[in-house]
Chains A and B, each alone.
Chain A
Amino acid sequence: MRASGARIPPRACDVQALRAELSRRIEADDLDLPILPDVAARVLSICQDPDGDPQRLAELIQRDPALAANTLRIANSAAYAAAEPIVSLSQAIARLGLSTMGDIAIGAAMNAKVFVVPGREGEMLELRRHAAATGIWTRELARHRRRNVEAAFLSGLMHDVGKPILLQAVIDLADGAEVDETILHTWIDELHAQVGARLLESWNLPPWVAAAVAGHHAPERAGAHRELAATVLLGDLFAHATDDPTGEHEQKLRQHIVLGELGIYPDDLVQLLARKTAIQASAQSFA
């Protein structure tokens, strides 16, 4: 992914000009957005089709050797551990089911094609892990609230998809000049929901996914999808809280206003947090 158009002069990194150019490109829809990996689009299509053919899914994943290897790795990870190792995609699909395989394949495709910024591998790994954890927590929260879980995982998985795009865009625009990391991440925090939603719209993903991603820091902006956006926000908070040994994020989670919005009380938190270890293991395998 590369930002297109005029570049900021090298080594004269004017922070204000850089920010202005970034905003202009976002407003003008002029960011170079990655296309949805073809394989991911087809996997989604098969998994959402009531007549989805498991054999077709296996063949599709098989065509992308990296994806096939990743999918098998995740299917054999602790999160999905089976008595016998899974050695083929057909076996994986039969054992884990179309829906889980869909989640695994989408996650693997995203990891390979979107969460990639050269030179920032550590940060990207962290983002991938957090995306997977948020997806899983969002699904568990939906289940806990007796809501259908179909939309939850994908929305949670995608919630920060704008971050690698912005990161790459700023690196490209700066053209080698150094950008202060604090400033860079302030921009990313501020803009990633908007950019992520735009990306998902360009991929023609279901509208609720883009709406939930756009509103995952401000659910009131998600309109009819406010509840899903609030669930993603809470999934995001759970993912941070359970990955933070200092307890600072858990404190933030316990004080967050979204708990009231979703009717999640301290006794619910105890029940949900009891699943922490299993969910972390799943997230680890996804990343």
Chain B
Amino acid sequence: MNPVPETFDVVIIGGGPAGHKAAVQAAKAGQRTLLIEREARIGGECVHRGTIPSKTLRESAVYFSGLRRRAAHIAKDALGKQVLVQSLMQRLDKVEHAQESFLEDQLVRNGIEVRQGHARFVSDHELEIATANGNKQVVRAEIILIATGSRPRAPADIEIDHDRVLDSDSILSLIYLPQSLVVLGAGVIACEFATIFLSLGVQVTMIDKAPRPLGFLDPELAERFVLRFERDGGKFIGSTSHTRVTSEPLGGVEVTLADGQVLRAERALVALGRTASVASLNLSAAGLALNERGFIGIDASGRTSVPHILAAGDVIGPPGLATSSMEQGRRAIRHALGLDLGVAAPVLPVGIYTIPEIASVGLTEAEAIKRYGRAVVGRARFDEIARGHINGETDGLLKLVCDERGRKIVGAHVIGEGATELIHLAQLAIVTGLEADAFVDNVFNFPTLAEAYRVAALDVVGRRARLQATA
């Protein structure tokens, strides 16, 4: 162990989206910056276990889902028995490598020192870094940012053996596509995997204690999601929970529900939330503790209860999106260094990579009513849009939420393929204070799904006129 700790201006723990952006920001501000990463590769869960691998698998699922819609007779035989999951993720290595190289180049370009190791607080300014071979050194920093991410929650009553009972990490290293899958949970990760496997021809049952999946979502979209999920052959069982999950000797899993119903499937996916990855950080040595939700609590500037220790990303809890994590990391460092923060993004889009995609920005209808006393909502069903018919995506929906006068756009919610791209138009409309009429007055390419904005805006204008007439 070093007798005198090596000193840095800023030390970042964790090389995922939040930590990476924070490190780049600190280095750009002229700070001597050290990034400590536990794994051999930079990128965190996002690149190596979560976002990138699951989206790569999703691309194949979208392909088969589209094929099924457009040419069901071909799709029927496209996926045979014993499909290798890896064969559906052929490009993963290249995608991961490209992303990792890009991130590493940025670190090198900005002169950021990177050390692989396991960080542990010795005091509020000092960290011990242990290598995998057990070598230790202590470093000291004026500012420390914790961005150690999260891991799948392992409920005490379920034995996740990573064989038949999987979590959202191990499901991505499945060898063969199972024939049936029970998904426990109905949050973002659960719904994404449920629809990916369903689209690949797996018989999927999703169960959750909530009456509908994606509880934070506009209920109309959630209902459409369930309708589409069940129309595609999936089954959602809400308002229930498991009482027992057991691996069966002759293969498969048995899930017993609270009402006594027993579900049998070849595999089970446990997606019942995530917990902060802090087990080995020794937070107490820095005077830190987890909040009641099991995450690191921060203030609006990203500071923990110890002001020079910051936290960002999944470790502070939801939303746990890569985009929000990056912004949290960047802003926390800027604030700590006394740099101009710029204008904080007033709204952040939410993108859910289910099949079909779901995206949301701004207020839901219910939130708008609560804030303005009334909301004027325009709808565009994709079966009203030429591109929707061309794509075979006729059950999509775009909801445009406006204020009580039916003018200012305050929210938008989309379900349908392309939703995560479409939502950005609404995001900019909200940020720039556009009125719904802007979508009527401007012309978009035809045929595109963006036409849905015009249809929804026309609906808003019509409703507004009726409201004015009755006023």
Contacts and interface: CB of A to CB of B under 8 A. Distances in A.
Interface of A: 48-52, 54, 93-99, 142-143, 146-151, 206, 208, 223-224, 254-256, 259-267
Contact of B131 (A51, A96, A99, A260): A260
B391 interface: no
A224 B93 contact: yes
Given A97-B249, A260-B132, A147 B173 contact: yes
A259 B175 contact: no
A95 B130 contact: no
Top 5 closest pairs, chain A to chain B, by CB = A259-B132, A148-B173, A97-B249, A260-B132, A146-B169
Contacts of A223: 93
Interface string B358-395: 00000000000000000000000000000000000000
B133 A150 contact: no
A94 B249 contact: yes
B163 A265 contact: no
A97 B251 CA distance: 6
B266 to A, nearest CB: 6
Nearest to B163: A149
A143 B151 CA distance: 14
Contacts of B230: none
A48 to B, nearest CB: 7
A52 B251 contact: yes
Nearest to A223: B93
Contacts of B7: none
Interface in B158-172: 161-163, 166-167, 169-172
A254 B133 contact: yes
Nearest to B247: A97
Contacts of B173: 142, 147-148, 151
23 contacts: A48-B82, A49-B82, A50-B251, A50-B266, A96-B249, A97-B249, A146-B151, A146-B170, A147-B162, A148-B162, A148-B173, A150-B163, A150-B175, A150-B176, A206-B175, A223-B93, A254-B134, A256-B133, A259-B132, A263-B40, A265-B280, A266-B132, A266-B134
Q: Is the interface of A mostly helix, strand, loop or mixed?
A: helix
Nearest to A144: B162
A50 B132 contact: no
B119 to A, nearest CB: 11
A96 to B, nearest CB: 6
Contacts of B241: none
A50 B179 contact: yes
A94 to B, nearest CB: 6
A267 B280 contact: yes
Interface residues of B, number: 40
B162 A146 contact: yes
B45 to A, nearest CB: 11
Nearest to A263: B39
Contacts of B247: 97
Given A147-B173, A260-B132, A99 B251 contact: yes
A157 B343 CA distance: 58
Contacts of A95: 249
B174 A148 contact: yes
B170 A265 contact: no
Contacts of B172: 148
B132 A264 contact: yes
Contacts of A49: 81-82
A98 B250 contact: yes
Contact of A263 (B132, B166, B171, B249): B132
B163 A259 contact: no
B249 A255 contact: no
A208 B134 CA distance: 31
A147 B116 CA distance: 21
A264 to B, nearest CB: 6
B168 to A, nearest CB: 9
A269 to B, nearest CB: 9
Contacts of A93: 249-250
B178 A149 contact: no
B99 interface: no
A149 B162 contact: yes
Interface in B162-203: 162-163, 166-167, 169-176, 178-179
Contacts of A50: 81-82, 176, 178-179, 251, 266
Contacts of A254: 133-134
Q: Most chain-B CB neighbours within 10 Å: which of A48, A93, A98, A265?
A: A265
Contacts of B86: 208, 224
Nearest to B94: A224
B20 interface: no
B130 A266 contact: yes
Contact of B170 (A51, A148, A206): A148
A173 B82 CA distance: 42
Nearest to A53: B250
Given A52-B251, A254-B134, A266-B130, 11 more contacts: A50-B82, A50-B178, A97-B250, A146-B151, A148-B171, A149-B170, A150-B174, A224-B93, A260-B116, A263-B40, A266-B132
Contacts of A265: 38, 118, 130, 132, 280
Contacts of A224: 86, 92-93
Given A143-B161, A208-B86, A48 B248 contact: no
A209 B34 CA distance: 39
Nearest to B85: A148
A261 B40 contact: yes
B313 to A, nearest CB: 18
Nearest to A97: B249
B152 interface: yes
Nearest to A225: B86
A233 to B, nearest CB: 14
Contacts of A52: 251
A98 B164 CA distance: 12
Contact of B38 (A256, A261, A263): A263
A49 to B, nearest CB: 7
Contacts of B250: 54, 93-94, 97-98
A216 B163 CA distance: 22
Given A146-B152, A146-B169, A147-B169, A259 B174 contact: no
